[in-house]
């Protein structure tokens, strides 16, 4: 019975501790989209050059958009930042960047961002 009391006390205290705490979170690394526009050439830059500009992707796969006749290699870059106040998510913003490669060369990109201009 004595070991039960500290466990119950800890379980009751934890929500109060988190309820009074603000946590800033950052996940991933911000991809610099300007490097794609200014540093790479469609159809000529190699995947090694893309890696040199952006670093390694967090994921990858293949894509087949309706406008494409064949599938392409796709690298995924992701960044997220937000704030948790207690147990409530106050703010959360993300960047998704998809880089397309055809036969080892840079074939374009698609990106979405909800970050404010000064946070990009």
Domains of the chain in start order, with CATH, are 22-119 (3.30.1450)
pLDDT in tens, 79-111: 988 887 777 767 778 889 999 999 999 999 998
pTM comes to 0.71
| pLDDT at residue 64 is higher than 70 | yes
- What span, in angstroms and rounded, lies between the C-alpha atoms of 23 and 92? 12
The proportion of the chain whose per-residue pLDDT surpasses 70, expressed as a percent, equals 78
**What is residue 50's three-state secondary structure?**
helix
| pLDDT at residue 62 is higher than 70 | yes
Is there a contact between 111 and 98 (Cβ–Cβ < 8 Å)? Answer: yes
Length of the chain: 120
Strand partners, 22: 85
């Amino acid at each position: 019975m004595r070991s039960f009391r500290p466990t119950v006390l800890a379980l009751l205290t934890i929500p109060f501790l988190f309820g009074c705490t603000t946590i800033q979170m950052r996940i991933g690394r911000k991809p610099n989209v300007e490097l794609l526009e200014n540093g790479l050439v469609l159809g000529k830059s190699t995947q090694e050059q893309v890696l040199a500009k952006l670093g390694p992707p967090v994921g990858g796969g293949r894509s087949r958009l309706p406008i494409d006749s064949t599938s392409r290699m796709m690298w995924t870059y992701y960044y997220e930042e937000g704030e948790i106040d207690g147990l409530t998510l106050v703010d959360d913003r993300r960047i998704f960047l998809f880089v397309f490669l055809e036969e080892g060369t840079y074939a374009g990109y698609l990106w979405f961002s909800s970050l404010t201009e000064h946070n990009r």
